[in-house]
Structure formats: structure tokens, C-alpha cells
């Protein structure tokens, strides 16, 4: 069994996940703006051409400019950036996504091309066209944009709930997985809300038009906030489809997840409550500052939601199929026998600074197995997490990593590697002295081996309440 090794980047004190996460959140937000924006433009064009709202036409052109600038330019830049960062951070995950969904990516790309082409044509010629051609272009734009969400949503939701794919490996079983529809509708509703708040902001910034016109437009745009009323229901539905252990993390199992989840829910609730109030109380005027604030809050809610979605997948990047550190569950037994970094060809950057071979081995093990979620001394720093533990405790906790925290994968190396890792952490804990003895105590290694055997090579189980018989692998 030969597993692939890729170069592993070091972002210093910043955890890798955070490096992707930051860009990902902005990209998702912009992409959702593009999708909701397309739908909103169709609606307003329809209002304009059926004589239901004479102010709508001028707005459609103004709003479209903003949409094109923001979503095409920034959306495309961050989109390509996403490929760049995710490949830096987890090439094997991306490899698996491409392998499994090759044609889906291709289809997604054709829809994206259609979206860009239709969008560009409207941008260029929209003003000169008659109503039905305008509508045709906008519908094409909006449909293509929504379908690019449709396709990408299948792949992203597959990572968390691969469904029948786990057994059959069938592409459609993976694509139309258990959380496909709740997540698709959830994102559609979010997109509509983002588009509506952005529209409120643009309406306030328009140079032409009086307050009355603006009020009329604002009220029309606010119609796109109505689906927010479905959010609680959609949230519950989505929640019901995700694995039980993932659910347990956000309900107290992991402090950070629970915190971010609460933040996302609270902020979404505030946004939803305000929006519905504004809809019902028809005289309410949403000014520029309020629109901007609501838009910013939607970004916060998106950030919280995306963070949780990525976080609750731990210890996997593709549930049951690939751990976050790019090791497949069925490779662990083999790696315990031959060592996880025995065949890792990439040299250490800091090799010269490490006083002995054992520490170099430990550094490689850390880099390969832990550095995707930890730093040595920064965000989620191992030095800080383990500083109170004796070497003995470190050995036990790492040998049974999946029991220590079920959102960590099992340790995937030999007893010698584990001891080297413990020494590496010890050495960091004691301020990286120039001299450091190697340890090769047979008894210690035998004890580690015993702990490793006891822990087994299976993933851990979340401990919270109903999780024992995890119905996770639906």
C-alpha cells in the first residue's frame, strides 16, 4: 500500500484551516450574492415590464453593475484563490473530490461559463435591448448561477454526509446525499437575503430618485427576505441529516463549535426577526447604515455557519473516507506497522535546528499527522495543550488520540514515531534547548504499543448522550 505524500506548508502560528476558512467564507458570501442577485434582478425586471413598478427598470441596471463588479471580479478572484489555498492545504482531499466528481465539476464549469457570458452580455447590451430579451438574458444568468450552486452543493455536502456512496461508491449516491436538499434550500434562502440587503444598500446609494421611489423599491426588494421565515425549519431539517457525532459537537461536545454555532444562530435570528418585522410593518424605511449593518451581520452568520460546517466534519475531510490529515482510515493499520513518515520524501525546513535524529522524526510525524489542525505554538498550539502533562501522559493521550477527543483521527504511526513525537513536544515545552538526549527505552515502546493496540485503529465516538449508537453513516 503506497499512500501519496505531498509537500506540507507551514503558515507559522496560523492554523491551516483558518487560512482556507477566511478566504472560503468571503467566496461563499460573494457567490451567494451573485445567485440571489440574479433572482432578484429577474423579479425586478418582471415588475418593470409588467408595469407593476416603474422605478424598477433604472434600478435593475444600477444593481447589475454592482453585482457584476462585486461578484464577477471578486467572486472569480476568490474562487480561483480557493483552488489555490485548498490545494496547498489538503491536496489529497481535492484529489478525491476531483476523482469522484470529475464530470460534475465539468458540468458546474459549463454553468459558470454560461453565467459569466449571460452576465457580460447583459452588462454590455442590456440597456439597448427590449424587455423580453432583457428578461431572457437575466433568466439565463440567474438560472445558470443557481445551477452552479446546485452542482457544487452536491460535492460540498457529500464531504459531510456521503450517504450511500460510502458503500457503493456511486457518484449519484454521493451527489444526492442526505444533506443535499436541506443545504441547497438553506443556501438559496441565504442567497436571497444577501441579495435583498445588498439591494437595500444600493437603493440608498442611488443618486437619482426621491425618498418615495426608494421606499417603493425597498419594499419590493424586501420580498426576498420573506423566505427567511423558513430558516428555523430548514435548520432543523439540515441538522437532522448530519451525523449524530457532528451534531453532538455543536451541542456542547466541542466548545468552539458550540460557540460558533450559537453565534450563527443568534445572528441569523436577529436578521430574520428584523427582516420579518420590516416586511410586516410596511412603513419602515431601511436606511443605508441599517442595510450595511444587516449585510455585515449576514456575513458574520455565513462565517459562523461555514466554520461549523467545516468543523463538525472532523476528524474527516470526507466522512468515513479520508481523515483531515489526508490519511485514509484503511491505511492506519499499515502505517502503524511501517511508520507514517518512513516514505515521506520531503525534507524538514527546520532540520538544522533540531538537536537529534529522533526529534527530526518527531517533527516529521507532527507535520504529517497533526499540523493540519494544530500548530506547535500558536493557534491550537500543542505546546500549550500538553504543557501540563508528563511524558507518560503525553504517550497515553496521543496513543489513544481518538479517545482523547473523538474529533481527532487515530494515531497512525509506529511506537517509535509516537515516542519521537512526544520527545518533540517535550523539547518544545522546555524551550528548545540545544542539547537533547534521544530515548530508546524498550519498555516505554512496549507500553506505547500496548496503548496503541488498545485504542485500535477505528475512529473515535463522540461521548455526548445519544451518540453511542451513532446513526451517522446514513
Name the minimum Å distance from CB 336 to ligand HEC.
12
- Candidate list 90, 324, 375, 426; residue touching ligand HEC; CB under 6 A: 324
Residues 392-431 that bind ligand HEC (CB under 6 A): 397-398, 401, 404-405, 407-409, 411
Alpha-helical regions (H) of 50-179: 56-67, 75-89, 91-100, 102-125, 131-160, 165-168, 171-175
What cell numbers appear for 42 in the block? 429577474
Q: Which C-beta is closer to ligand HEC: that of 28 or that of 370?
A: 370
Q: Which C-beta is closer to ligand HEC: that of 89 or that of 286?
A: 89
Name the minimum Å distance from CB 310 to ligand HEC.
11
Residues 356-375 that bind ligand HEC (CB under 6 A): 369-370, 372-374
Buried-state track 300-331, b at ≥16 Cβ within 10 A, e below 16? bbbbbbbbbbbbbbbbbbbbbbbbbbbbbbeb
**What are the two backbone dihedrals, phi and then psi, of residue 323, each rounded to the nearest 5 degrees?**
-75, 160
Report the distance separating Cα 126 and Cα 76, nearest Å. 22
Q: Which C-beta is closer to ligand HEC: that of 110 or that of 393?
A: 393
CB 18 within 8 A of CB 359: no
Please measure the distance between the N-terminal and C-terminal CA atoms of the chain and give it in whole angstroms: 29
Name the minimum Å distance from CB 155 to ligand HEC.
20
**Among candidate residues 113, 181, 139, 145, the one with its CA nearest the CA of residue 33:** 145
Greatest Cα-to-Cα distance within the chain, rounded to the nearest angstrom: 86
Which region, judged by CB under 6 A, interacts with ligand HEC, from 164-172, 241-249, 350-358, 382-390?
Answer: 382-390
Which residues lie below 8 Å from residue 232, measured CB to CB, with a gap of 6+? Answer: none
Q: Which C-beta is closer to ligand HEC: that of 6 or that of 46?
A: 6
Q: Is 314 in the site for ligand HEC (CB under 6 A)?
A: yes
CB 36 within 8 A of CB 146: no
Q: How many residues bind ligand HEC (CB under 6 A)?
A: 22
Name the minimum Å distance from CB 8 to ligand HEC.
12
Q: Which C-beta is closer to ligand HEC: that of 404 or that of 474?
A: 404
Q: Which C-beta is closer to ligand HEC: that of 189 or that of 341?
A: 341
Which residues lie below 8 Å from residue 356, measured CB to CB, with a gap of 6+? Answer: 436, 437, 438
Q: Is 386 in the site for ligand HEC (CB under 6 A)?
A: yes
Phi-psi region of 348 (alpha: psi -120 to 50; beta: other; left: phi over 0): beta
Q: Which C-beta is closer to ligand HEC: that of 116 or that of 408?
A: 408
Q: Which C-beta is closer to ligand HEC: that of 61 or that of 384?
A: 384
Name the minimum Å distance from CB 382 to ligand HEC.
6
Name the minimum Å distance from CB 407 to ligand HEC.
6
How many other CB atoms are found less than 10 A from the CB of residue 238? 20
Which region, judged by CB under 6 A, interacts with ligand HEC, from 47-55, 108-116, 292-300, 379-387?
Answer: 379-387
> What is the distance, to the nearest Å, from the Cα of residue 310 to the centroid of all Cα atoms in its chain?
4
The pattern of x and - marking residues 47 through 76 that bind ligand HEC according to CB under 6 A reads ------------------------------
CB 254 within 8 A of CB 407: yes
> What is the distance, to the nearest Å, from the Cα of residue 222 to the centroid of all Cα atoms in its chain?
28
Name the minimum Å distance from CB 357 to ligand HEC.
19
Q: Is 322 in the site for ligand HEC (CB under 6 A)?
A: no
Q: Is 349 in the site for ligand HEC (CB under 6 A)?
A: no
Name the minimum Å distance from CB 129 to ligand HEC.
52
CB 9 within 8 A of CB 88: yes
What cell numbers appear for 39 in the block? 433572482
Q: Is 385 in the site for ligand HEC (CB under 6 A)?
A: yes
What cell numbers appear for 144 in the block? 445558470
Q: Which C-beta is closer to ligand HEC: that of 39 or that of 96?
A: 96
Q: Which C-beta is closer to ligand HEC: that of 217 or that of 408?
A: 408
- Angle subtended by helix axes 131-160 and 16-49, to nearest 10: 150
Report the interface residues with ligand HEC, using CB under 6 A. 314-315, 324-325, 369-370, 372-374, 380, 382, 385-386, 397-398, 401, 404-405, 407-409, 411
Amino acid at each position: 500500500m503506497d499512500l501519496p505524500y505531498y509537500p506540507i506548508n507551514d503558515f507559522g502560528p496560523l492554523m491551516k484551516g483558518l487560512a482556507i476558512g477566511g478566504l472560503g467564507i468571503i467566496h461563499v458570501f460573494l457567490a451567494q450574492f451573485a445567485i440571489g442577485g440574479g433572482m432578484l434582478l429577474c423579479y425586478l425586471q418582471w415588475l418593470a415590464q409588467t408595469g407593476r413598478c416603474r422605478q424598477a427598470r433604472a434600478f435593475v441596471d444600477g444593481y447589475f453593475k454592482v453585482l457584476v463588479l462585486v461578484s464577477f471580479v471578486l467572486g472569480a478572484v476568490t474562487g480561483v484563490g480557493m483552488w489555490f489555498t485548498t490545494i496547498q492545504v489538503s491536496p489529497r482531499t481535492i484529489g478525491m473530490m476531483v476523482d469522484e466528481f470529475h464530470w460534475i465539476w465539468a458540468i458546474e464549469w459549463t454553468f459558470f461559463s454560461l453565467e459569466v457570458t449571460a452576465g457580460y452580455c447583459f452588462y454590455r447590451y442590456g440597456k439597448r435591448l427590449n424587455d423580453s430579451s432583457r428578461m431572457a438574458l437575466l433568466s439565463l444568468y440567474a438560472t445558470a448561477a443557481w445551477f452552479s450552486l446546485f452542482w457544487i452543493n452536491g460535492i460540498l455536502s457529500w464531504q459531510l454526509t456521503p450517504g450511500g456512496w460510502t458503500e457503493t461508491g456511486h457518484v449519484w449516491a454521493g451527489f444526492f446525499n442526505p444533506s443535499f436538499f436541506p443545504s441547497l434550500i438553506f443556501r438559496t434562502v441565504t442567497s436571497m437575503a444577501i441579495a435583498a440587503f445588498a439591494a437595500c444598500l444600493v437603493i440608498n446609494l442611488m443618486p437619482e430618485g426621491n425618498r418615495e421611489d426608494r421606499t417603493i423599491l425597498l419594499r419590493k426588494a424586501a420580498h426576498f427576505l420573506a423566505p427567511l421565515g423558513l430558516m428555523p425549519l430548514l435548520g432543523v431539517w439540515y441538522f437532522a441529516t448530519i451525523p449524530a457525532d457532528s451534531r453532538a459537537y455543536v451541542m456542547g461536545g466541542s466548545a468552539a463549535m458550540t460557540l460558533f454555532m450559537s453565534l450563527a444562530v443568534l445572528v441569523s435570528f436577529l436578521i430574520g426577526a428584523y427582516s420579518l418585522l420590516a416586511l410586516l410593518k410596511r412603513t419602515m424605511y431601511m436606511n443605508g447604515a441599517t442595510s450595511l449593518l444587516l449585510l455585515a451581520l449576514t456575513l458574520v452568520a455565513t462565517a459562523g455557519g461555514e466554520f461549523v460546517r467545516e468543523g463538525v466534519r472532523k476528524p474527516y475531510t470526507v466522512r468515513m473516507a479520508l481523515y483531515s490529515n489526508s490519511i485514509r482510515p484503511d491505511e492506519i493499520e499499515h502505517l502503524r506497522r511501517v511508520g507514517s513518515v518512513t516514505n515521506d520524501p520531503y525534507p524538514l525546513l527546520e532540520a538544522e535546528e533540531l538537536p537529534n535524529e529522533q526529534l527530526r522524526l518527531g517533527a516529521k510525524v507532527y507535520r504529517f499527522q497533526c499540523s493540519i489542525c494544530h500548530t506547535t505554538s500558536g493557534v491550537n498550539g500543542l505546546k500549550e495543550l500538553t504543557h501540563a502533562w508528563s511524558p507518560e501522559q503525553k504517550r497515553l493521550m496521543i496513543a489513544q488520540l481518538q479517545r482523547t477527543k473523538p474529533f481527532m483521527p487515530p494515531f497512525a504511526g509506529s511506537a517509535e514515531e509516537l515516542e519521537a513525537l512526544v520527545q518533540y513536544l517535550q523539547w518544545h515545552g522546555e524551550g528548545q534547548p540545544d542539547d537533547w538526549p534521544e530515548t530508546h527505552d524498550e519498555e516505554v515502546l512496549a507500553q506505547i504499543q500496548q496503548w496503541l493496540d488498545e485504542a485500535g485503529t477505528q475512529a473515535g465516538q463522540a461521548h455526548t448522550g445519544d451518540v453511542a449508537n451513532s446513526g451517522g453513516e446514513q
